[in-house]
Amino acid sequence: MSSLKEYTESEILDRIAQWLPSNAQLICGAGDDTAVVQLCEGADDYLLTSDAVIEGVHFEPMEDLKRVGNKAAGRVLSDIAAMGGAALFLMVDLVIPAERSLEDIEQLYEGLNAQLNPFGAIIVGGDISNSAPFQVHVFAVGKLPKGTAVLRSTAKVKDQLFVTGSLGGSIAAKHLDFSPRIKEGRFLRDWATSMIDLSDGLAKDLRHILSQSDVGAVIQEQAIPVSAGLEEEPLAHALFDGEDYELLFTVKPADVDAFIKAWSEAFVDPAVHIGEIREVSEELLLQKKDGQTCKIEGEGYSHF
């Protein structure tokens, strides 16, 4: 019997996907930011996603639990944003040591609700059990107009790559304090040909788009929006750190000028043009400031 240590996270997920059945209501299953399903006849598709934050993995012991709640809710909302959806409902399962206090739970829920309130989403239930380490498991439901979900698998050669915000800030605790790009994701339904949220790092998450769309890409080193305050190896942080929770997306080349104008009128934070989709044979390349290109080696965050 083989150990999970012998596999990458992607290989494990690919193996699990082989055991997941399908039916007529499933529009998009495992492999994208959320599942897309038709729950009933109507004008909307529904988005289903789940995620967990675990003490010692996603947050430090004795971290401010309001910030932990912010992150736990924000992660699933970021998945919904990456599909272009609106968030509706959450269920929260707590795995919490009995030594923790009721006040700890109250602080956690204060953070959860503070993250959800601006988007009109609500917590409708969940479960609680006693164990260690402290864990918060969140399941979320969103929706969008039927047939409008922005997938990872629909990028085309010559599409232009954009990213919201700045990258590499998780090392400075951005991963606890971010606000998911729900409004931006809904706006991008009219513009993006593919999209993903950046949870595992620019290099790894872009590869998800490339593999599922069967394309390659080149990104411009000087265009990558690096977070302020990264003094050592800022490019490496931007490419590989993960937990930025920004949106990475593609736009048709003919739409770029109109998109940039429409974005600047709608949002203060920029959408930065960082590269281009190429033929699959070009894989993932970095064009350096001197004009030379090299293959991007290495991955972002992996649990295994």
Residue 170 lies in a domain: yes
At residue 71, does pLDDT exceed 80?
Answer: yes
Residues 238, 270, single domain; the answer is yes
- Can you say how many angstroms the Cα of residue 162 is from the centroid of all Cα atoms in its chain? 14
Residues 225, 140, single domain; the answer is no
Residue 227 lies in a domain: yes
What the block records as the tokens of 227 is 């977070």
83, 116, 145 — which closes off a domain?
A: 145
The pLDDT tens digits for 205-222 are: 999 999 999 999 999 999
Residues 109, 167, single domain; the answer is no
Residues 136, 166, single domain; the answer is no
- Provide the pLDDT for residue 173: 78
Residues 219, 278, single domain; the answer is yes
CB contact at 8 A, 170 and 301: no
Residues 165, 136, single domain; the answer is no
Convert 211-245 to b/e letters by CB count within 10 Å (16 or more is b): ebbebbbbbbbeebbebeebeeebbebbbbbbbbb
- Phi and psi angles of residue 193, each rounded to the nearest 5 degrees, phi first: -90, -20
Q: What is the mean pLDDT of the chain?
A: 93
The pLDDT tens digits for 248-279 are: 999 999 999 999 999 999 999 999 999 999 99
Residues 198, 273, single domain; the answer is yes
What the block records as the tokens of 22 is 């399908």
Q: What is the mean pLDDT of residues 232-248?
A: 92
Q: What is the mean pLDDT of residues 224-234?
A: 87
CATH number at residue 178: 3.90.650.10
Residue 40 lies in a domain: yes
Q: Are strands 247-251 and 160-164 parallel, antiparallel or unpaired?
A: antiparallel
If one compares 269 and 300, the residue with the highest pLDDT of the two is 269
Residue 136 lies in a domain: yes
Residues 98, 209, single domain; the answer is no
The pLDDT tens digits for 84-127 are: 999 999 999 999 999 999 999 999 999 999 999 999 999 999 99
Q: Quickly state the pLDDT bin for 204 (edges 50, 70, 90).
A: very high
116, 145, 174 — which closes off a domain?
A: 145
Count of structural domains within the chain: 2
Among the listed ranges 10-19, 107-116, 121-130, 156-165, which one has the minimum average pLDDT value?
10-19
At residue 13, does pLDDT exceed 90?
Answer: no
Residue 189 lies in a domain: yes
Question: How much is the pTM?
Answer: 0.94
Cα(191)–Cα(205) distance, integer angstroms:
20
CATH number at residue 87: 3.30.1330.10
Residues 172, 67, single domain; the answer is no
Could you count the other beta carbons within 10 Å of the beta carbon of residue 170?
Answer: 21
At residue 280, does pLDDT exceed 60?
Answer: yes
Q: Quickly state the pLDDT bin for 23 (edges 50, 70, 90).
A: confident
The pLDDT tens digits for 282-293 are: 899 999 989 899
Q: What is the longest distance spanned by two Cα atoms in the chain?
A: 59
At residue 22, does pLDDT exceed 90?
Answer: no
- Provide the pLDDT for residue 304: 54
Residues 20, 138, single domain; the answer is yes
Residue 152 lies in a domain: no
Residues 23, 134, single domain; the answer is yes
Residue 302 lies in a domain: no
If one compares 20 and 112, the residue with the highest pLDDT of the two is 112
Residues 10, 127, single domain; the answer is yes
Residue 300 lies in a domain: no
- Provide the pLDDT for residue 8: 78
- Domain span at residue 120 reads 4-145
